[in-house]
Copies of this chain bind each other. A is one copy, B any other.
Amino acid sequence: MTRIGEELYAHVGALYPIFRSITGPGLRQTLDYIGRQIPLRVQEIPSGTQVLDWVVPPEWSVRSATIETRDGRTVVDFAEHGLHLVHYSQPIDRLVPLDELQEHLHSLPDQPTLIPYRTSYYKESWGFCLAHEVRTRLRDPAYRVRIDTTLAPGSLSLGEAFLPGDEAGEVLISAHICHPQLANDNLSGIAVAIALAQKLTARRRRFGYRFLFMPGTIGAVAWLHQNRDARARIHHGLVLTCLGDPGPPTYKRSRQGASLIDRCAAHVLSDEGFADRILPFTPWGYDERQYCSPGFDLPVGCLMRSPSGAFPEYHTSADDLSLVTPAALADSLSRLDRILSMAEDDHRPVNAMPYGEPQLGPRGLYFSPTDDPQPFATETLLWVLNLSDARHSLLDIAERAGRPFEEVAAAARVLSAKGLLRRAEVR
């Protein structure tokens, strides 16, 4: 746990200094890093390509951006923090009167020391984000504003990794990678996704696992554009974000609301005592809004700790390496693994001796208090026998019995080994 926590934190640390946006060199550097951890297929979609209702924007690259006094003192410098520049700012190099400049500045009066994060991808503009306490000190009549950026035909970069499974269905794991120098949102999601892919590589998998590392919205839209058949292929999935802060876990349901992944995540959070952190679907948030658009309606929920907008550091310079912790990252990975493992293991068992109870004693299944402790209570064993009628899944049984899924699954494994259970043919 400590080791994996450190590993996860190291990914966040390595990616934090890179300046990212929805296109451009930082995005590619990020994908390069991921590609060194897990086998990744990177795709470039040219600017101007129509994807669903959207068009791939020009590629944006930044060389420098400053606000200086007329006597050459630097007031705001992009080189100091990537959040200083509004994303997709147009180039500019001129003296700007303070009044005009103010219309291009963004700060947080209630958090005067923090730099906010702002973008203007689809509206031509330029602007700076800065600490409010710095902004209030701007009193000169005019400032020299220099933004050395390029907005030019290029491409949108998407990373995709696929681990095949025994069955046809795929599990979608999606993390956005467009946020610049924000640690929890969303380097934590990238780190956890990398580690999950590494873990799964070593395992036999029932489902295939498809990892998407893409810029928010436009990336998901582009991928869905290429995968119109997603509904038929995607068995379930999760968007990963904000998984490194110290807050308790949060699960936001998919639009379907009670799909397998929704039930697995809700079972895990309830079992952990976080039933109040299971949120209903809403058509805003992260890329689940694309996956859950009505034409696709994929069973894809969103796993978080503190949800977007619900922690004070959200979308500010305070979402830095001090906000995320190895322990929180490791805990998130462990929970994610538990949820996905449940979906892997769930099936509808069939009692091979459904008429009356089978005799447990001769099969070594009658445990007395002096026997070695079993990973399940005798009551759980009886529940599995009683409900294994090809209509109840292990998860159904766990919910009716009020026991953890894993305990029910352990009992089912023992019963299977004794020939008392088999799997239903059709899921």
Q: Interface of A with B (CB < 8 Å)?
A: 52-54, 122-123, 217, 220-221, 224-225, 228, 255, 282-284, 289-290, 292-297, 351, 353-359, 361-362, 379, 382-383, 385-389
Contacts and interface: CB of A to CB of B under 8 A. Distances in A.
Given A52-B355, A225-B356, 13 more contacts: A53-B357, A53-B358, A54-B359, A122-B361, A217-B357, A282-B382, A282-B383, A290-B357, A292-B386, A293-B357, A294-B388, A295-B355, A296-B356
A127 to B, nearest CB: 13
B54 A293 contact: no
B356 A297 contact: no
Contacts of A297: 389
Nearest to A121: B361
27 contacts: A53-B356, A53-B357, A53-B358, A53-B359, A122-B359, A122-B361, A123-B361, A217-B357, A220-B356, A225-B355, A225-B356, A228-B355, A255-B386, A282-B379, A283-B382, A283-B387, A284-B379, A284-B382, A289-B357, A289-B382, A293-B355, A293-B356, A293-B386, A294-B354, A294-B388, A295-B353, A295-B355
Q: How many monomers of this chain does the complex have?
A: 3
A388 B255 CA distance: 13
> Which 10 residue pairs spanning A and B have beta carbons closest together?
A295-B354, A283-B386, A295-B355, A294-B389, A283-B382, A52-B356, A294-B354, A53-B358, A221-B356, A290-B356
B283 A356 contact: no
A387 B294 contact: yes
Contacts of A255: 386
A149 B375 CA distance: 39
B355 A283 contact: no
A228 B255 CA distance: 44
A257 to B, nearest CB: 10
Contacts of A382: 282-284, 289
A257 B270 CA distance: 24
